Amino acid sequence: MKNILITGCAGYLGSKLTQKILSNSFCGRDYQLIGVDNLLWGKASINALSQLCSPHFDFHYRDITKIDGKLAKILLKADVVIHLAGYVGADLCKERNAQSWEVNYEATKNLVDFYLHTRNDSQPWFVFPDTNSSYGASKEPYLTEESPLNPLSDYGKQKMLAAKEVEKMKNHSIFRLATLFGLSPRMRLDLLPNDLVQKAYLMKDNQSHLEVYEGHFWRNFVHIDDVVSVLAYLTHSVIGQDEVGYARYLRGVFNLSDSRYDTTKLALIKKIFSLFSIDHSRIITSEKTDPDGRNCKMSTEKLLDALNRANAPDVFQTPMKDVLQSVYQYVSLFMGFPYLPAKNSPKECND
Ligand SMILES: NC(=O)c1ccc[n+]([C@@H]2O[C@H](COP(=O)([O-])OP(=O)(O)OC[C@H]3O[C@@H](n4cnc5c(N)ncnc54)[C@H](O)[C@@H]3O)[C@@H](O)[C@H]2O)c1
């Protein structure tokens, strides 16, 4: 039996990936999915996952910064590690600076060291989501995986340094992710497109304006379902369910973004306002600056070529407006419920 370990399995990306692996795509396979999370944002997503009642799912409420005997036993079992646990986003990492360094950088380094020392001959495949914040305020207009990394925020620095540690693993797949959006059991409304949809929904009932800063900045986005498809396909291949070993094509560092969604911030806001019938005159520009400094387009040629060679199912098919509409529907159904987090801040999150 093969073991898949997902750290951060209760998070926005982790809970959706866990759901995918436990549902249709791995049906009938001989595997165990071990989920580890310290439930920073509550247990609602784990409740949703436990309703799948899968015998393949084994959840552990643990902190990945503390590799004690119990966690070591869990780690030793893994054939593939999908390391998603972290403090996510520039604002949160500024607000909780020391903890974010401990979780995002030190814990990743410790995990890699653990595997290099205990299982040097039989290392698991290590999958890690980096962020396009690692590129920072790069002057290059079109970023490839070879472009220099120049993160401005602590979040970007932590992820860049952590990814360097992950590169020490023999088999690693590091994805530099664009900003995700769309629906998940642990919903995040702080992600830019999701946040703007929520704002548009709220603006329907009042006369407020939306302040936009650095509206000319280019931003990259990707539908969470596409990221989940890529990670699930890779996992599927790593645990030996295809005869050809397609995973080898996905070894290395890849930008993961949907270039059809490339847009400036202002164009995105206008698109969302048009979609939900908010007048563009309600957008006002501000002189504020963005500490993250992202203003770029990402090349996805390397990833598309690898997915093609790996015979992966098609991704990047869903129109952006369909995803935005699904978020709008979610917001209109649940707005006002106490567990709907308005910001990515643990203080404001209830179960
Ligand atoms: N969402 C995005 O747009 C995006 C973009 C680029 C990269 N990423 C990366 O993807 C990963 C997942 O992001 P997400 O959006 O799902 O974030 P999230 O905040 O929803 O999930 C992170 C999860 O990690 C868990 N966690 C935090 N500290 C932990 C600890 N010490 N021990 C155990 N679990 C812990 C949290 O409880 C949470 O469930 C992160 O590594 C993030 O840097 C996300």
Q: Where are the domains of the chain?
A: 2-179+221-259+297-316
Matching CATH number, 2-179+221-259+297-316, of 3.50.50.60, 3.40.50.300, 2.60.40.1180, 3.40.50.720: 3.40.50.720
The reply to whether ligand 1 has any atom less than 6 angstroms from the CB of 160 is no
- Kindly state the DSSP code that residue 281 receives in the 8-state scheme: G
Q: d(Cα 253, Cα 159) in Å, to the nearest integer?
A: 13
Q: What is the position in ligand 1's atom list of the atom closest to the CA of 87?
A: 27
Ligand 1 pocket test, pick from 12, 176, 253 with the greatest ligand atom count within 8 Å of Cβ, gives 12
Taking the C-alpha atoms of residue 129 and residue 63, their distance in angstroms, rounded to an integer, is 19
Query: Nearest 5°: CA angle at 148, between 142 and 150?
Result: 105
User: So what's the pLDDT on residue 288?
Assistant: 85
pLDDT at 77: 96
Distance CA 14, CA 206 (A): 35
Distance (angstroms) between ligand 1 centre and the Cα of 36 equals 12
**Measured from the CB, is residue 131 less than 6 Å from ligand 1?**
yes
- Report the separation in Å between the CA atom of 105 and the middle of ligand 1, taken as the mean of its atom positions: 13
User: Model pTM?
Assistant: 0.94
The neighbouring-strand residues paired with 223 are 181
Enumerate residues 6+ apart whose C-beta is below 8 A from 125.
79, 80, 81, 169, 171, 172, 173, 238, 247
3-state secondary structure of 131: strand
Q: Which residue has the tokens 């059809």?
A: 260
Task: Take atom 7 of ligand 1 and give the residue whose Cα is closest.
Answer: 131
> What is the structure's pLDDT at 293?
72
Please list the ranges in the chain whose pLDDT falls under 50: 342, 346-351
Ligand 1 within 6 A of CB of 129: yes
Q: From the CB of 325, is ligand 1 less than 6 Å away?
A: no
| Confidence at residue 341, expressed as pLDDT on a 0 to 100 scale | 54
Q: What pLDDT shows up at residue 312?
A: 94
* 44-88 pLDDT per residue, tens: 999 888 877 788 899 999 999 999 999 999 999 999 999 999 999
